[in-house]
Amino acid sequence: MTDGSQTAVGLVVKLPFATREEVLAKYGSNISRGGIYLRSRTVKPPGTPVTLELRLASGERLIHASARVEFTTGQAGSGVSGMGLRFLVVDPATQRFLESAASALAN
């Protein structure tokens, strides 16, 4: 949890996918019960609190979570630029999605 000294950064990501199944097929290895890895040209430093909304192309909300940046990649001029977010609090719909994602990816 954060100590309250930092204001959470709002991060809304609209994915180019129409269905949850498509998200899992294309992006599933980057999603877990505990967090998500997002490719991004602009990253926040580790420790930054984030309020994340991940939406399908239709605008349907897939993930709504309070999270914290755990790590960044690609900042030394090589590799893919992005950040790993650890979920701190997720809403019930997000929890159901993460549980179904974990089950689907285990098979």
Alpha carbon distances (Å) from 50 to 1, 24, 37, 58, 96: 11, 22, 13, 23, 21
**pTM for this predicted structure:** 0.86
The model's pLDDT over 10-42, given as tens digits with 9 standing for 90+, comes to 999 999 999 999 998 888 889 999 999 999 888
Residues 53-81: what's their mean pLDDT? 92
- Is the predicted pLDDT of residue 53 greater than 80, yes or no? yes
Q: What is the DSSP letter of 71?
A: E
37 contacts: CB under 8 Å, gap ≥ 6: 30, 82, 83, 84, 85
> Which pLDDT belongs to residue 75?
80
pLDDT above 90 covers what percent of the chain? 67
> Which pLDDT belongs to residue 105?
67
The model's pLDDT over 73-92, given as tens digits with 9 standing for 90+, comes to 998 777 889 999 999 999 99
